[in-house]
Amino acid sequence: MSSSSVNLEEMPSESLMNELLRRMKCASKPENRLILIGPPGSGKGTQSPVIKDEYCLCHLATGDMLRAAVSAKTPLGVKAKEAMDKGELVSDDLVVGIIDEAMKKPSCQKGFILDGFPRTVVQAQKLDEMLERQGVKIDKVLDFEIDDSILEERITGRWIHPTSDDTAAVLRSRLEAFHKQTEPVINYYSKKGLVTKLNAEKPPKDVTDDIRKVFLSWVFECSKLSSHCYFGPNGTARRLTLLSIEED
């Protein structure tokens, strides 16, 4: 047995049961591949764990994946480290390759949440090309919309000891850069009919409810194409037909 293998006999019964229940719950979930777009402080970090747990998706953050690949010394990780050691940016092809590797993990069987990528239209195109080779595609892009003034108030309100009067100005500059960078990406996916806008100015619980409604709307779209779909928020499994919604 390799060092990375898990000896089930040594696992607590409660852990085994929890994992079994998780897999049973996830078996009824449809596959979903999501991209989250939104400025810092818009609530993506709050909602990602909720989406991940309720819909059995893995969370792919490009920064975390790069660090993991470099640490594991994978072939792509070695190339990424070489670029970083030279002070160069990691190429789009390398990042897409690392995402491709990460998607093959068992935790990504039902799909993924992609956060922090793509940041440009070229990256979005390369991502689509990679997914197309696998016979899959991005299902939805969630755009966390929030007014810059509210975001500024939300973020600066967390600062206990601002270092200077320039902090708000620096934040505004970063937000301007974010909008300039991501607007073409949002337009790219909007043309594909994939973007759903969320009012991120709402309290987190309300945003979570809106996301659940978005997922339910996908089920109804699915029901137009087939006789039934399996889906259920809060871990419940539901069978949706063209005529009714019935608890399994």
Compute CA distances 208 → 52, 98, 222, whole Å. Answer: 12, 29, 21
Domain extent listing, the chain: 29-57+110-247
Give the count of beta carbons closer than 10 Å to the beta carbon of residue 236: 11
Confidence (pLDDT) at 190: 96
Q: Residue 195's beta-bridge partner residues?
A: 141
Confidence (pLDDT) at 234: 34
Contact between 223 and 230 (Cβ < 8 Å): no
Confidence (pLDDT) at 215: 85
**Exposure string over 55-85, b if 16+ CB within 10 A, otherwise e:** bbbbbbbbeebbeebbeeeeebbebbbeeee
Contact between 51 and 76 (Cβ < 8 Å): no
Confidence (pLDDT) at 107: 86
Prediction pTM value? 0.77
Query: What would you report as the CA-atom Rg of the chain, rounded to the nearest whole angstrom?
Result: 20
Structure tokens that stand for 26 in this block: 């996830």
Confidence (pLDDT) at 208: 95
Compute CA distances 230 → 26, 59, 158, 222, whole Å. Answer: 11, 22, 41, 10
Q: Is 177 exposed, middle or buried (0-12, 13-18, 19+ CB in 10 A)?
A: exposed
Give the count of beta carbons closer than 10 Å to the beta carbon of residue 19: 12
Contact between 141 and 194 (Cβ < 8 Å): yes
Confidence (pLDDT) at 163: 57
Instruction: Write out residues in the chain with pLDDT < 50, as ranges.
Output: 1-5, 223, 225-248
Please give the angle made by the CA atoms of 143, 149 and 154, to the nearest 5 degrees. Answer: 80
Compute CA distances 152 → 145, 162, 181, whole Å. Answer: 13, 13, 19
Specify the DSSP class assigned to residue 89: P
CATH 3.40.1580.10 fits 29-57+110-247, yes or no: no
- Between CA 238 and CA 29 the distance in angstroms is 10
